[in-house]
Amino acid sequence: MPIVANILYRDSFNFARSQLFNILLLALLTALITIILNQTFTPDAEQLKILGTVKNNFESLKGVGIKEIARSMTPEQQMILLKLSAVTAFSTLLGNVLLIGTMLSLMILVSQGYHVNVWQIVIFSLSTLPRLSLLIFICTLFIQFGLTLFILPGIVIALAVSLTPMIITNKKIRISTVIKSSAKLAFTNMRLIAPTMILWFSAKLLLLLLISYIVISTPIIIDIILSTLDNLLSALLLVYLFRLHMLLHNS
């Protein structure tokens, strides 16, 4: 029996509504962890002042390639920029892993009939985080590589690996096999996955546009709001994909 999109959306909405409190707490928790890591390891004011001169380099070297701009920077500026990029990438990756791991744990436990709180969800997710971290890291590299080449390959790769978190928590198989299985299922059910992911991506862009018009004196508050709402959108997408994978697995 073919899976009907309307039923899938309705089931996902009902689950999200019934677990909205836990989902909001998980979105906020992972947002706070990401922001705390960024604040802890971000270069200090003096280093940021040194890095600030890079802006002048960009303005004076318009139309010049990235390599030429990098060469125009001092070794100290290059190291500070590298540290800043590494901190941002690490905190974002860790935040994504924690969000995906805890959301999957929530959905697994609820589907098994348990009534859980955030602390129980976090404890349950710890066993899945190591393999999930490696999987998310590999998938992120593939997606970023595809986006660097051209936007379309990155989108196709994102669609292909969209079901990998659900598969890796249900089957003790190699990561390469997980990615292949996800790609096969995703491309077979493109009509159910592609519209939802496009809607999710559009909502994230709209969120960025809306938040840019909000004026708050404390930037960290904007970061918390933006990161929490962004995590909430991703959590809702995970609910939909998890429900879809369950239906595919049972059909």
Q: Express each pLDDT in 159-198 by its tens digit.
A: 999 999 999 876 678 888 999 999 999 999 998 999 999 8
Please write down the long-range contacts of 46-54, taking CB distance under 8 Å and 24 or more positions apart.
47/80, 48/80, 50/76, 50/77, 50/80, 51/77, 51/80, 51/81, 51/84, 53/77, 54/81
Identify the residue whose tokens are 């933006």: 226
Mean pLDDT of 13-38: 93
- What is the span of the domain harbouring residue 238? 5-250
Lookup: tokens for 134: 């490696």
Identify the residue whose tokens are 């309705």: 10
State yes or no: pLDDT of 65 exceeds 70.
no
Mean pLDDT of 76-104: 84
Q: How far apart are CA 236 and CA 234, in angstroms?
A: 5
Nearest partner of 237 among 104, 113, 127, 139, judged by Cα: 104
Q: What is the pLDDT of residues 226-245, one digit of tens each?
A: 899 999 999 999 999 999 99
State yes or no: pLDDT of 251 exceeds 60.
yes
pLDDT of residue 100: 95
Based on its alpha-carbon atoms, the radius of gyration of the chain, rounded to whole angstroms, reads: 20
Nearest partner of 158 among 128, 174, 136, 173, judged by Cα: 136
State yes or no: pLDDT of 83 exceeds 90.
no
pLDDT of residue 5: 76
Mean pLDDT of 61-73: 56
pLDDT of residue 61: 47
Residues 6+ apart with CB under 8 A from 165: 100, 104, 132, 135, 136, 238, 241
State yes or no: pLDDT of 3 exceeds 80.
no
Nearest partner of 80 among 40, 52, 38, judged by Cα: 52
State yes or no: pLDDT of 78 exceeds 80.
no
Tell me the residue type at 88.
T
Tell me how far apart the terminal alpha carbons of the chain are, to the nearest angstrom. 7
Select, from the ranges 51-55, 129-133, 146-150, 172-176, the one with the highest average predicted confidence (pLDDT): 129-133
pLDDT of residue 150: 73
pLDDT of residue 109: 93
pLDDT of residue 151: 74
State yes or no: pLDDT of 21 exceeds 90.
yes
Model pTM score: 0.86
Lookup: tokens for 246: 């369950």
Q: How far apart are CA 204 and CA 196, in angstroms?
A: 12
State yes or no: pLDDT of 139 exceeds 60.
yes
Mean pLDDT of 85-103: 89
What mean pLDDT, rounded, does the chain reach?
A: 82
Q: Torsion angle, CA of 161/243/27/155, rounded to 10 degrees?
A: 30
User: For residue 241, what are the CA distances in angstroms to 13, 44, 53, 84?
Assistant: 12, 40, 44, 33
**What are the helix (H) ranges across 150-217?**
151-160, 164-170, 175-188, 190-211
Q: What is the domain count for the chain?
A: 1
Q: What percent of the chain has pLDDT over 90?
A: 40
Lookup: tokens for 57: 């380099």
Q: What is the pLDDT of residues 112-126, one digit of tens each?
A: 888 899 999 999 999
Between residues 134 and 44, the one the model is more confident about: 134
